[in-house]
Amino acid sequence: MEAVPLMPMISLELKTSPESTDFSAALKKYVKEYYHEDPESYNKEIKELEQLRQNAIKASKDFMGCSVLKRYFAQLHLLQSRFPMSEGGAAAVNFTWADVYTNTWGTYADVKFEMSAIMYNIGALHSVLGTMDNRQTAEVCEFSSVDDGTRGSLPNTDMTRDVLNVYVNIMLAQAQECILEKSMVDHRKSTIIAKVASQVVEYYRQAIKYLDPQGKVQLYVGNKQCKEWQKKLRLKIPYYECVSLLYMGNQSEEQQKWGEGVAYFQASVDKLNEAIKLSSSGDGALVQEALRFTMDVVGGKFNSAKKDNDFIYHEKVPEFEMLEEVKGASLVKGIPFNFNDKDVSGDDIFARLIPMETHEASSLYSEEKAKVLREADTGLTFLSSLQTDQLFDVEHDRLPQPLLERCAALSVRPTAVKDLTTAMKELSDISLDVTEDLNKVHELMESEEQSEKSFQEQLGRRDASLIVAELAKEYGHLKEANARADTSDRELHKVMMVHVNNLRLLASQPEEIKQALPLLELTDEDREASSEIWRLLGKVEEMKEQRDKFEHELREQVQNDDITKALVTMKDADSLEEFFEEQLTKYVKPSDLIQRNLAAQENILRALTDANAKYADTRRKVNDHQQRRETRIESIINSYDIYDDLMKKAKEGIECYKKLQENVTKLLSRVSGAYKVQEEERQQIINRENAKKAKAAPPRPTAPKPAAAAVGAVG
């Protein structure tokens, strides 16, 4: 479902002031009379302060303007620690500001009046920036309020408590609106969105209470402004009630409460109709568009839900009064700023204006604080002699986090072990192929050698063939290379088998890994001794944490305790010791807590010493077990850590064998061809020799054949 649009935002108008205020005369006079310094030497600081004010009252409407306003406010806070600028003070300066709604000027000789006006503008500027911001982002409106409880007599009426309450509730409501829109865009749970929308309604109801026609706000801001706010808030209240009920209806549908969903959607339509009646053409195109779009969404949901319930589910539709009340959930708050933060205030303009007696007094106070820290600075150094940091908890023999992390990492690489074993097999197969081809070459070489030997025995010695010698030499090189590769391959295979087993274990469940680790066998006495020492160590750790907390808080309190600003304004040096004593009372309670903690440590340490002596035999067993366990775990972790290196080496081995196989295959082909040529050459020589012998032999004598007639006569 599309998110319904939000209503236009309300922003506040900034206060205005004349462009300059003359700090010069009052501050210079006070520098001369109280600090006894040359007032003219502070011309630069005074001009910087006046320029800062001028920048602040004409601040740009962006976050740079906010920074300028905050810096000026922080500098005023620092300024009043050196100069009495409150009403009737020796360095009081007139400040003039215009009332936002009556446009009348008010002048007051009190720095608190100036600071209130600046703080108002900080909040007002944030409201302006909030209306300009992209509400689809996580950014929300900010609003800073100032307590006007001490300024009821000021002439300005645009910062009275009732008016500020209206501002605060409107700004919180609008910030909550931004959270609401973000929640709808992000498709958060329907109940959450309903509660966020309900809180928007609650903030607007709180704001509108102060806009009662008989109330004070109308007197301060004027009838026109008051009515304009009332109109906008009265329109927004039923609108966001409509949104809250819409999402409650969605929640009912998600729970398959069809009748209840129809009731919520009906109520949502009713609230939207109420908002439409309160709207008018003068509310602007954005408001009218939001109402029309929302009616399409809400009306569509109601009609669809009612039709489904009438024809399919037939559930009873409860009365609106019977539905669950939607309670708001506030997700916004005012965002303060720390005016003591240097990033906010910048460098202290009058930092060098500190009397020498103030520096001296501050140093004395620092020494008093150092005494407090020295008294609290104690530690449990005795524990180091017991070597308790080396103890292994046998009752909580958990798998270490690095092992679990690698177990999780391997789970997202399900083919890792298979890939490694496949690479190992491929490496082994190609190694066998290369060895087999080399053996064939060797067999051919032996056959050739035997043939050549027989030939030479028959026909005499002759020079060896250069080609055969060259091939034999190449065979020797390749055989040597294969031998080196085979040795490396065997070593790698042996290592990889260990790591493959570890990786298979790492890919299993944590409980299976636990069972594969070395087991520790302890007697009942061992377990009793172990349990007791861990119980006491728990008490020691609790004591240490408690004391560390106390000491940290005390140290932080001491370090942040800067009374320099207070010392600057002190006039009576005789009251310095009394002032120190009063300031140091803040450390009595934390110091007492530390001392009580120290008093409790002696008994615990005595019991721990006795328990540690009884634990000696068990400690040896446990330490041996821990060492074996850590070695095994380290081996498993190492297998994962070098997995990529193993795969790299396997691939490099395969590539090496492929190149070797290519050379061996070429050699086998060349050897076959060369030896065939050799055989043919030998055969040709043998044939020639046989022909020579046949030609050189004498003719054999033959007897005459008997005559035919004689043969006949004998017969």
CATH of the domain at 216: 1.25.40.280
List % helix, strand, coil for the chain (3-state, nearest 5).
70, 0, 25
**Range among 242-246, 385-389, 424-428, 474-478 with highest mean pLDDT value:** 242-246
Task: Please tell me whether residues 296 and 323 are part of one structural domain.
Answer: yes
The pLDDT of residue 715 is above 90: no
Cα pseudo-dihedral 278, 279, 282, 286, rounded to 10: 150
- Report how far apart, in Å, the C-alpha atoms of 684 and of each of 663, 689, 691 are: 31, 9, 11
pLDDT band at 144 (very low <50, low <70, confident <90, very high): very low
Task: Please tell me whether residues 434 and 516 are part of one structural domain.
Answer: yes
Count of Cβ atoms closer than 10 Å to residue 327 Cβ? 10
Show which of 131, 159, 187 is a domain's final residue.
Answer: 159
Q: What is the mean pLDDT of the chain?
A: 81
Task: Please tell me whether residues 296 and 417 are part of one structural domain.
Answer: no
Show which of 317, 332, 347 is a domain's final residue.
Answer: 332
Task: Please tell me whether residues 168 and 242 are part of one structural domain.
Answer: yes
Q: Return the SS3 of 329.
A: coil
Structure confidence at residue 293 (pLDDT)? 92
In a domain, 35, yes or no: yes
User: Among 311, 324, 191, 309, which Cα is nearest to 259's?
Assistant: 309
Task: Please tell me whether residues 454 and 602 are part of one structural domain.
Answer: yes
Q: Mean pLDDT throughout 604-611? A: 77
In a domain, 407, yes or no: yes
Task: Please tell me whether residues 147 and 168 are part of one structural domain.
Answer: no
Q: Which domain holds residue 129?
A: 15-159
Task: Please tell me whether residues 73 and 86 are part of one structural domain.
Answer: yes
Q: Mean pLDDT throughout 242-264? A: 95
E strand residue ranges, 457-540: none
In a domain, 199, yes or no: yes
CATH of the domain at 606: 1.20.140.50
Task: Please tell me whether residues 296 and 194 are part of one structural domain.
Answer: yes
Task: Please tell me whether residues 148 and 192 are part of one structural domain.
Answer: no
- What percent of the chain is modeled with pLDDT above 70? 86
Q: For 179-237, what is the HEC assignment?
A: HHHHHHHCCCCHHHHHHHHHHHHHHHHHHHHCCCCCCCHHHHHCHHHHHHHHHHHHHHH
Dump pLDDT digits (tens) for 211-245: 877 778 888 888 888 889 999 999 999 999 999 99
pTM of the predicted model, to two decimals? 0.54
Q: Mean pLDDT throughout 82-88? A: 88
Q: Compute the C-alpha angle 506/416/422, nearest 5°.
A: 120
The pLDDT of residue 530 is above 70: yes
Task: Please tell me whether residues 316 and 454 are part of one structural domain.
Answer: no
Task: Please tell me whether residues 166 and 153 are part of one structural domain.
Answer: no
Q: Token digits for 673?
A: 């061809």
Task: Please tell me whether residues 192 and 143 are part of one structural domain.
Answer: no
In a domain, 8, yes or no: no
pLDDT band at 646 (very low <50, low <70, confident <90, very high): confident
Show which of 159, 189, 212 is a domain's final residue.
Answer: 159
In a domain, 141, yes or no: yes
In a domain, 246, yes or no: yes
Dump pLDDT digits (tens) for 343-368: 888 888 988 887 555 666 667 767 76
Measured distance CA(44)–CA(572) in Å, rounded: 30
The pLDDT of residue 376 is above 70: no
Q: Mean pLDDT throughout 266-289? A: 88
In a domain, 499, yes or no: yes
- Total domain count for the chain? 3
In a domain, 558, yes or no: no
Cβ density class 251-285: b for 16+ within 10 Å, e for less? bbbeeebbebbbbbbbbbbbbbbbbbebbeeebee
